[in-house]
Every structure is written in C-alpha cells, then in structure tokens.
Amino acid sequence: MKRIGANRRQFLGAATMLAASALAPRVLSAQNRSVIKAVAFDAFAIFDSRPVFDLAEELFPGHGAQLSNEWRTRQFEYTWLRNSMHKYADFWNVTQDALNYAAKQSKVSLGPEQNKQLMSAFLQLKPWPDVAAVLQTLQKRGIRMALLSNMTDTMMKACVEGSNLGTMFEFQLSTDRVKIFKPDPVTYNLALEAFHLQKHQIAFVAFGGWDAVGAQIFGYSTYWVNRLNVPSEELDVSADATSHDLSSLPSFLDSLQKA
C-alpha cells in the first residue's frame, strides 16, 4: 500500500508539473508582452509617386499612361529579378533601367532632358495628404519611427528634406545597406538592428501588398496601406490590417497594445 501511495503521489506531482509547464508559456507571454514601441514605414506609404506618372503624360501626351504602367511594373519586377539572380544594383539604377525598358516598350522617344525630368521627379516626392497628421499623432505618443525602403539614401533624404519630415524619422533605412531588396528577410532585420527592439515591439507599414506579406512572414505586426485599391496578394499570408490610408493606423496600434 505504501508503494502504491508513493507512486500515486509521484504521478500526481508529475501531472501537476506538466500542467504548470503547459500553462507557463501563456502566463509568461501575457506578462512579457510589450507594447508597440516603433513603426517602420515603406517610403511609398509616406510619399506619393503619382506626380511622377502625371509628368510622363505631360511629356508624352497620349502615351504617358502606358509608359507609367510599364515603368512602375518593371521598377519592382527588376528588384525581384535581381534578388533571384543575386545581381544587385541600387534602386536608382533599377528605376533608370525600368524607365529605359518602358520607353522602348511604349515606343516613345526618351531624350536626355525628358529622362532627367522623370528621374529627378523621384527626388521631389511629397507626402500623401493624410501623412502629416498621423505622424504627429504617433510622435506625441512617443512612438519611434523610421523609413525602411528600397529607395537609396539619396532618394529618401531628398524626399524627407523636401517635405520637412526630418524630425519625424529617427532612421532612414535603405536596403542598399545590405545590397538586396525587400522582401528578402535580411532587409526587414534592418529595423531590429536600428531600434534595438524585438519583432513584437515593431509594426511595419507597407505600400505594396507583397511588402506587407514579406514583413508579416518576417514577424512584424503589419498594416497595409492599400492606396491604389488593388487586390490582396495570393501568397497564403495577409497583413494584420488593411486600409486605403494611414488614418486608422493609430487605432490599429492601440489594438495591438490591448491584444
């Protein structure tokens, strides 16, 4: 009887320990859960590139739309192709290559002055109308902010300074630093290294649906600002929240704090 009682006590003790270990991760998770401390934005979620393509129509009446569509598509396709081929060129050069291709595909004669005007327009991008108010709200809350973009440092700096947003962004993180483009996981790690925070403490704001997927897979809470009202990507993963602008970003961050 003593042996049976001892075995029973051992069994109950082991069962109690197993139950405690099963519950422990949940308890620790709740205790250690941190609020969002920083937000990383893709540059195109902040800066409106539509004037570049409006300029294309001014320079090539009747052909600007086709040129713009080809240019926009190739601009991003070339980043993915270069990632796949392990043949890096920075985003400025990719943008130029994409323009050259688009001009030939659209059968427009792209002269040196027209080329200069179109390329220079990427250095003069202004914020979308909703940006300033939302950034101010986040700044008042003590949320740290950065740009995390395929744009080169020169491109980002020109747009930030031209829009008087220099005080908003603690970091301007170009993927040129790691010589590879989003959505490679190495690029999203730039924010972790800059902020010295953990993944669950950082939210990412994407302009492209593919970028939202990349950030989500990496482990960030992700907000997709679908400004162009395009369908979600069919890549098995979706952003935590989607909106046509940034106006609901503060409430999205609030929801993460309460989760």
Which active-site residues does the annotation give? 42
Name the residue among 7, 31, 36 with its Cα closest to residue 221: 36
Distance CA 211, CA 239 (A): 9
Tell how many helices (H) and how many strands (E) occur in the chain.
Answer: 11, 8
Give the Å distances, CA to CA, from 23 to 17, 29, 34, 170.
10, 10, 19, 39
Distance CA 102, CA 56 (A): 11
DSSP string, 9-34: HHHHHHHHHHHHHHHHHHHHHHHH--
Chain centre to alpha carbon of residue 250: 16
